[in-house]
């Protein structure tokens, strides 16, 4: 993706370091200071999940493990100094999530795990963007929704795929079965990321991954960062499995509302993306909850609590992001951050955050 605009001192320092040649004396010296800058950013943060500077910095460091960042050497992905900074931010983010998300005592059979996850989803009373998009959203709000979702949907499935080599048996087979569909059964144009890109092009939007990064608020970055954080750490394999299970459980019904809304707004390609999820995720939710999550609890009981932690993080972070967007729209405002042109004209203090 292209390099984003920094949102604070940490982002400015991070991008300045990453533009250097990794391993050079100057890069090493500046990277030592960068670790201190990361700790300072965490210390002054009033909430990691909504901290624009911290979440963008973590997103950039995570992007090095996916499709990379323009103008940044790929060797930074595994550079010890960059990894040190990434872990400072990730550990603070994880700690906040664990403090905010209630703990569960997980059941110990696959069906009981599935039942508990479905009950968790049924009890959720978070705000519904899908219902808003279905009947009330304007065409411009629908375009904003696509941009907000794009940082995940344009690489859909990739963060969860990190878990495949970390699982075994029934849980691994269940995850692979789900991911095969996510990747279009091997057909490039049927990959879910490709279907979403088609919807963005139809709406006149940039369909490149990360193209909307400067417009997406921290609460939405946090959702993507959580998945990547879970996927990149073997110790969090339970969390990434629980996260995907809850994604699948909470996808089919909202996707039906979203498809209806995009069709109402005469955006058939975007509607088709959500039509695909109505059918696919109705089957995936059973595989994800019983075989993948339930199987993992039986096969690897040490990570059972993290399965439910990952699942609750979906509901928690989705509610945070959705509530922010709905409050903006209800007030007649944009849910996006101000563009670079708007920032230059109005000044950074007026940024939408």
Q: What is the pLDDT of residues 291-305, one digit of tens each?
A: 999 999 999 999 999
Find the radius of gyration of the CA atoms of the chain: 20
Where do the structural domains in the chain lie, given as residue ranges?
9-100, 110-350
pLDDT tier at 351, thresholds 50, 70, 90: very low
Indicate whether 343 pLDDT > 80. Answer: no
The whole-number pLDDT of residue 352 equals: 46
What is the three-class DSSP state of 293?
helix
pLDDT tier at 344, thresholds 50, 70, 90: low
pTM of the model: 0.94
Indicate whether 341 pLDDT > 90. Answer: no
Q: What is the pLDDT of residues 44-93, one digit of tens each?
A: 999 999 999 999 999 999 999 999 999 999 999 999 999 999 999 999 99
Mean pLDDT of 119-132: 94
Angle at 100 between CA 145 and CA 234, to 5 degrees: 85
The whole-number pLDDT of residue 342 equals: 63
The whole-number pLDDT of residue 264 equals: 98
Q: What is the pLDDT of residues 278-287, one digit of tens each?
A: 977 778 999 9
The whole-number pLDDT of residue 32 equals: 82
Angle at 10 between CA 9 and CA 14, to 5 degrees: 120
Contact 272, 195 (CB under 8 A): yes
Indicate whether 347 pLDDT > 80. Answer: no
Short-list 187, 133, 171, 179, CA closest to 280: 179
Token pair 């103008």 in the structure block, residue: 71
Average pLDDT value for the chain:
94
The whole-number pLDDT of residue 345 equals: 59
Q: CA distances (Å), 3 to each of 14, 65, 69, 157, 216, in order?
A: 11, 15, 6, 23, 14
Q: How many whole angstroms separate alpha carbon 336 and alpha carbon 150?
A: 12
- What dotted CATH number matches 110-350? 1.20.910.10
Mean pLDDT of 304-331: 97
How many residues can be counted in the chain? 353
Q: CA distances (Å), 207 to each of 105, 146, 195, in order?
A: 42, 10, 11
Contact 21, 27 (CB under 8 A): yes
The whole-number pLDDT of residue 353 equals: 41
Indicate whether 239 pLDDT > 90. Answer: yes
What is the three-class DSSP state of 251?
coil
Least confident of 144-158, 160-174, 212-226, 272-286: 272-286
The whole-number pLDDT of residue 27 equals: 85
The tokens for 350 are: 């007026």
């Amino acid at each position: 993706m292209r390099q984003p605009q920094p949102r604070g001192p940490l982002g400015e320092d991070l991008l300045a370091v990453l533009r250097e040649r990794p391993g050079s004396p100057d890069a090493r010296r500046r990277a030592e200071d960068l670790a201190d800058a990361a700790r300072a950013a965490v210390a002054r943060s009033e909430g990691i999940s909504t901290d624009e500077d911290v979440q963008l910095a973590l997103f950039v460091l995570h992007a090095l493990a996916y499709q990379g960042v323009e103008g940044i050497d790929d060797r930074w992905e595994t550079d010890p100094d960059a990894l040190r900074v990434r872990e400072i931010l990730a550990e603070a983010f994880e700690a906040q999530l664990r403090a905010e998300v209630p703990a569960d005592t997980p059941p110990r059979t696959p069906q009981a795990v599935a039942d508990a996850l479905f009950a968790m989803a049924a009890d959720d009373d978070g705000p519904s963007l899908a219902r808003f998009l279905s009947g009330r959203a304007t065409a411009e709000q629908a375009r904003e929704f696509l941009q907000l979702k794009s940082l995940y949907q344009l690489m859909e499935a990739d963060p969860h795929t990190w878990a495949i080599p970390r699982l075994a048996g029934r849980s691994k087979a269940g995850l692979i079965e789900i991911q095969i569909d996510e990747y279009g059964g091997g057909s490039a144009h049927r990959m879910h990321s490709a279907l979403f890109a088609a919807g963005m092009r139809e709406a006149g939007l940039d369909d490149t991954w990360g193209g909307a990064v400067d417009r997406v608020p921290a609460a939405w970055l946090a959702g993507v960062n959580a998945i990547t954080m879970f996927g990149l750490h073997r110790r969090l394999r339970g969390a990434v499995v629980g996260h995907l299970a809850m994604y699948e459980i909470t996808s089919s019904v909202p996707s039906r509302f979203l498809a209806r809304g995009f069709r109402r707004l005469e955006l058939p390609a975007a509607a088709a993306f959500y039509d695909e999820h109505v059918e696919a995720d109705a089957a995936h939710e059973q595989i994800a909850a019983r075989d993948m999550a339930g199987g993992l609890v039986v096969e690897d009981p040490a990570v059972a609590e993290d399965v439910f932690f990952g699942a609750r993080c979906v509901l928690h972070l989705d509610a945070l992001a959705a509530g922010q967007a709905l409050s903006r729209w209800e007030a007649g405002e944009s849910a996006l951050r101000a563009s670079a042109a708007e920032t230059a004209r109005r000044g950074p203090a007026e940024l939408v955050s």
